[in-house]
């Protein structure tokens, strides 16, 4: 059973995922209000785009949220601190946890029907109190808890998405850093790794979000969102080289040498004040599996991914 989105609000509308979601909603003929902390970059949303109203403001400002969300039926909440390397834990909690609860409380007060929260697969480690849990994952987990707490005492229907690493044009993170370093010939061949990871394309993730928002079966549920593939990091490395019309390395760096390279880049970034996107955190991520299943969202909502990292690779930034 499905329903219409009605008037829609997208927080974090100018971010990597938010702008793709807005474009998909507008292409489908929906009317929406996009919230961002600052004005959209030039050209991101052409002036007078039919069906779109862009506003700037702080999600911790309840008066602002009340004015923007009045009359909305669906809220997609993406606003937050997305990158975890140097974020202050207190700031992470203020924005990702308290900000999410503020959005949920105002949504419930003004009569919003459905709120879809873009959380993160990293919330799982915090949930399990795993040794590799991060402050970012903890902030996302607390944001989930805040939404569910508000929903229990109101008519607001919550849906939580836990996407894995997201790829697409304009992406950031470890794979984007890898692409940039390989393009500049600054990254030695990866060690031989057994690491396996899950990924999701930004287009598919936004399709999954709309599906979740319009499906009664999704109410009150949490879903991991992946493209259904399990990737080897060495295979990703080889694919990046081929996409650049270069031969993949025929050898692997010794792990100790690769660690020392990561350490050197970390120290250089600290001394120069210009982090290079690759350091010890990235090194440790290379050694840690990050595998998740999309079976639940596929079975319950009929979600079928349309792309893989390999099919999306030619469109990614930094390949030429």
Residue 83 has pLDDT above 60, yes or no: yes
HEC string for the chain: CECCCCCEEEECCCCHHHHHHHHHHHHCCCCEEEEECCCCCCCCCCCCCCCEEEEECCCCCHHHHHHHHCCCCEEEECCCCCCCCCCCHHHHHHHHHHHHHHHHHHHHHHCCCEEEEECCCCHHHHHCCCCCCCHHHHHHHHHHHHHHHHHHCCCCEEEEEEECEEECCCCCCHHHHHHHHHHCCCCCCCCCCCCEECEEEHHHHHHHHHHHHCEHHHCCCEEEECCCCCEEHHHHHHHHHHHCCCCCCCCCCCHHHHHHHHHHHHHHHHHHCCCCCCCHHHHHHHCCCECCCCHHHHHHHCCCCCCCHHHHHHHCCCCC
pLDDT number for residue 256: 84
Residue 278: pLDDT band with limits 50, 70, 90: low
Query: For 66-86, what is the mean pLDDT?
Result: 89
For the ranges 33-42, 62-71, 259-268, the lowest mean pLDDT is seen at 259-268
pLDDT number for residue 242: 96
Structure tokens at 183: 């393009």
pLDDT number for residue 273: 65
Residue 33 has pLDDT above 50, yes or no: yes
Burial of 106 (0-12, 13-18, 19+ CB in 10 A): buried
pLDDT number for residue 3: 59
Tell me the C-alpha distance between 251 and 202, whole Å: 32
Percent of the chain having pLDDT more than 70? 92
CB-based contact 212:306 (threshold 8 Å) = no
> What is the separation, in whole angstroms, between the first and last Cα of the chain?
45
Q: What are the extents of the domains in the chain?
A: 8-163, 168-198+227-291+306-320
Residue 236 has pLDDT above 70, yes or no: yes
Structure tokens at 31: 């009317």
Find, among 37, 137, 130, the residue nearest to 82 by Cα.
Answer: 137
Residue 1: pLDDT band with limits 50, 70, 90: very low
For the ranges 63-67, 114-118, 183-187, 284-288, the lowest mean pLDDT is seen at 284-288
Residue 124 has pLDDT above 70, yes or no: yes
pLDDT number for residue 87: 67
Q: What is the CA radius of gyration of the chain?
A: 20
Cβ neighbors of 243 (< 8 A, separation 6 or more) are 313, 314, 316, 319
CATH 3.40.50.720 fits 8-163, yes or no: yes
State CA 108 to chain mean position distance: 24
Tell me the C-alpha distance between 24 and 223, whole Å: 20
Structure tokens at 171: 């992406």
Residue 188: pLDDT band with limits 50, 70, 90: confident
Confidence (pTM): 0.92
pLDDT number for residue 151: 97
pLDDT number for residue 177: 84
pLDDT number for residue 229: 97
Burial of 194 (0-12, 13-18, 19+ CB in 10 A): exposed
Mean pLDDT (the chain, rounded): 90
Residue 220 has pLDDT above 90, yes or no: yes
pLDDT number for residue 204: 98
Can you give the length of the chain in residues?
320
Angle at 294 between CA 289 and CA 295, to 5 degrees: 120
Beta partners for residue 159, in sequence order:
116
**Residue 256 or 74, more confident:** 74
pLDDT number for residue 59: 95
What angle do the packed helices 202-213 and 16-27 form, to 10 degrees?
60
Tokens 């929260």 appear where? 117
What angle do the packed helices 99-110 and 62-69 form, to 10 degrees?
40
Residue 215: pLDDT band with limits 50, 70, 90: very high
Residue 144: pLDDT band with limits 50, 70, 90: very high
């Amino acid at each position: 059973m499905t329903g219409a989105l009605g008037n829609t609000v997208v927080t974090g509308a100018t971010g990597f995922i938010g702008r793709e979601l807005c474009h998909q909603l507008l292409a489908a003929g929906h009317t929406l209000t996009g919230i961002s902390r600052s004005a959209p970059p030039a050209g991101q949303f052409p002036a007078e785009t039919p069906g779109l109203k862009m506003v700037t403001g702080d999600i911790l400002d309840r008066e602002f949220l009340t004015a923007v969300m009045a009359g909305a039926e669906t809220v997609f909440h993406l606003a937050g601190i997305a990158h975890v390397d140097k974020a202050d834990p207190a700031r992470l909690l203020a924005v990702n946890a308290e900000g999410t609860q503020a959005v949920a409380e105002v949504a419930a007060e003004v009569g919003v029907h459905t709120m879809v929260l873009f959380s993160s697969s990293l919330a799982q480690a915090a949930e399990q109190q795993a040794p590799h849990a991060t402050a970012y994952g903890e902030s996302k987990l607390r944001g989930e808890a805040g939404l569910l707490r508000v929903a229990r005492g109101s008519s607001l229907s919550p849906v939580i998405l836990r996407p894995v690493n997201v790829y697409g044009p304009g992406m950031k993170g470890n794979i984007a850093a890898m692409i940039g370093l390989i393009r500049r010939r600054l990254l030695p061949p990866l060690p031989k790794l057994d690491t396996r990871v899950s990924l999701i394309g930004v287009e598919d993730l936004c399709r999954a979000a709309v599906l979740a928002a319009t499906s009664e079966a999704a109410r009150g549920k949490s879903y991991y969102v992946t493209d259904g593939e399990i990737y080897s990091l060495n295979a990703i490395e080889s694919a990046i080289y081929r996409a650049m019309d270069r031969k993949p390395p025929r050898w692997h760096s010794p792990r100790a040498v690769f660690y020392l390279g990561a350490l050197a880049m970390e120290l250089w970034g600290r001394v120069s004040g210009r982090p290079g996107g690759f350091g010890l955190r990235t090194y440790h991520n290379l050694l840690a599996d990050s595998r998740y299943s999309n079976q639940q969202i596929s079975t319950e909502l009929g979600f079928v991914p349309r792309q893989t990292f390999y099919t999306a690779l030619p469109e990614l930034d930094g390949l030429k």
